[in-house]
Each structure stands twice: as structure tokens, then as C-alpha cells.
């Protein structure tokens, strides 16, 4: 069983059962492009900018 997770509403990845079978099923799901229209590309630059902004706001 694979569940969409991360970043709210599962837009960045899959959560799979903690087993070899769960991992295999999750990898097959990605390879077969199942739910691929739901998963978004993670924008690490935007994430880092927001993280730094939050950090600097805390130390002001």
C-alpha cells in the first residue's frame, strides 16, 4: 500500500509500507508513473529561501 505524502496533500512523494514488498510496490508505482500528475517537483531553492527568511526573522 502506497500513500501520497510530504508537503501537504502528498505532493512530493510516497509513503510505503516498511518492508521490502512495500518498497518494491512504491518503486513500481513510480516506474509505472501512477499518480505522477499529483506529485510535484520539489523546489529546493524556494525552500532554502523560506528557511533562511524564517531563521533571520527569529534572530532579529
Per-residue pLDDT of the chain (60 residues; tens, 9 = 90+): 555 455 555 566 777 888 999 888 888 888 887 766 666 777 889 889 999 999 999 998
Q: Is the pTM of this model over 0.75?
A: no
With cell 528557511, the residue in question is 51
pLDDT in the model for residue 1: 54
pLDDT in the model for residue 4: 46
pLDDT in the model for residue 20: 92
Q: Grid coordinates standing for 39?
A: 506529485
With cell 531563521, the residue in question is 55
pLDDT in the model for residue 25: 87
Amino acid at each position: 500500500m502506497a500513500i501520497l505524502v510530504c508537503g501537504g496533500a502528498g505532493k512530493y512523494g510516497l509513503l510505503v509500507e516498511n518492508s521490502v514488498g512495500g518498497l518494491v510496490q512504491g518503486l513500481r508505482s513510480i516506474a509505472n508513473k501512477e499518480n505522477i500528475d499529483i506529485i510535484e517537483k520539489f523546489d529546493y531553492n524556494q525552500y532554502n529561501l523560506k528557511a533562511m527568511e524564517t531563521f533571520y526573522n527569529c534572530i532579529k
